[in-house]
Amino acid sequence: MTEINLLSAFLIGIAGGVHCVGMCGGIVAALRSVTPSHKPAFPFTLAYNLGRIASYTLAGTITGAMGQIARHYIPVASYVLSLLSALMLLALACYLGKWWTGLTHVEALGKGIFKRIQPYSKRFLPFKTPWHALPYGFIWGWLPCGLVYSTLTWALASGTAVDGAAIMFAFGLGTLPTLLAASTGAAYIVSAFQQPKLRQTLAVCMALYAIYLIYRAF
């Protein structure tokens, strides 16, 4: 794995900031209602997001290990996984650009798992300390999300569990600025990410990179 993969994963997280606000922004805003009013909200919000990023990192570790096993036993696995990750990136670009929303069908695959674990998050409400927000964020990190699933295919194709974890950690860090801005009421930052021109520019850049990866795979 090269540093460009980590940078790309981070930039995908940045580019998906608008999507994250739509999926998780309401959750982050709702954290204020379960955070002690006499305490600053930022430590709780940060803890929630660190828990969320930890869940992404764990998922990357698992998928990276699965990819490593597949490469060991299946001769063409490396080619197939590289092509799959490139195609998923292209689908993600179409999703963010609102050119094609087929990725929503992929999101439905994780609903069963999340439905089973989501009730456990209620045990940590209301938050007494930021430590209660950490496991809450870890559970909500498994919320079905096409953005996460697309990046997980990169972790799957990375070759090792460590590389898979690093990719998903970098992706999680990329999603952090917009969600923190949404939680602190920095509307100007959120609105900047919601500009149609910026969204389309990011989507086009991601699509071009995906096409390059598909070409390289072939």
User: What pLDDT was estimated at residue 152?
Assistant: 92
Closest CA to 196 of 6, 9, 18: 18
User: What pLDDT was estimated at residue 70?
Assistant: 92
CB 33 within 8 A of CB 193: no
User: What pLDDT was estimated at residue 14?
Assistant: 83
Write out residues in the chain with pLDDT < 50, as ranges. Answer: none
- Give the other-Cβ count within 10 Å of 117's Cβ: 12
User: What pLDDT was estimated at residue 29?
Assistant: 62
Amino acid at 39: K
User: What pLDDT was estimated at residue 191?
Assistant: 66
User: What range does the domain containing 8 cover?
Assistant: 3-217
- Give the other-Cβ count within 10 Å of 161's Cβ: 19
User: What pLDDT was estimated at residue 195?
Assistant: 73
Cβ within 8 Å of residue 133, ≥6 positions away? 31, 35, 44, 45, 47, 48, 51, 124, 127
Which DSSP string do the residues of 185-200 spell out, in sequence order? T-HHHHHHHT-HHHHH
Cβ within 8 Å of residue 80, ≥6 positions away? 74
User: What pLDDT was estimated at residue 4?
Assistant: 59
- Look at the chain and report how many structural domains it folds into: 1
| Token representation of residue 210 | 């995906």
- Give the other-Cβ count within 10 Å of 208's Cβ: 12
Predicted confidence (pLDDT) per residue in 84-127, tens digit: 989 998 998 898 888 888 887 887 778 888 889 999 988 988 88
User: What pLDDT was estimated at residue 21?
Assistant: 65
